[in-house]
Amino acid sequence: MPTLHIPAPLRALTAGESSVTVAGETLAALADNLEARFPGIKVRLVEGQRLRPGLAVFVNSVQVSPNLTTKVAEDADIYFAPAISGG
């Protein structure tokens, strides 16, 4: 199962856990299964059919599309992080 690394501001929703394993082949399935385990976390990660604005997702250290249809491998390490922008 993919390992999701939980950002510090959301760890209150995961009983302090910094990483959890959750089943899912897409970001949508991961978000749904994470919500089933930790109610209230999905709304902090998802808006519509993509991750919330200002949030980036990295799969195995590579930034990927924030669309919830993005596929992830079973052994993936997934990190959620504030998106970085600048000029």
CATH superfamily assigned to domain 3-82: Beta-grasp domain (3.10.20.30)
Q: Say whether pTM exceeds 0.85.
A: yes
* pLDDT of the residue at 86: 61
Q: What is the pLDDT of residues 35-81, one digit of tens each?
A: 999 999 999 999 999 999 989 999 999 999 999 999 999 999 999 88
Query: From edge to edge, which strands make up the β-sheet containing 19-21?
Result: 19-21, 3-5, 77-82, 55-59, 62-64
**Would you list the domain boundaries of the chain?**
3-82
**For residues 18 and 15, what is the distance between their CA atoms, to the nearest angstrom?**
9
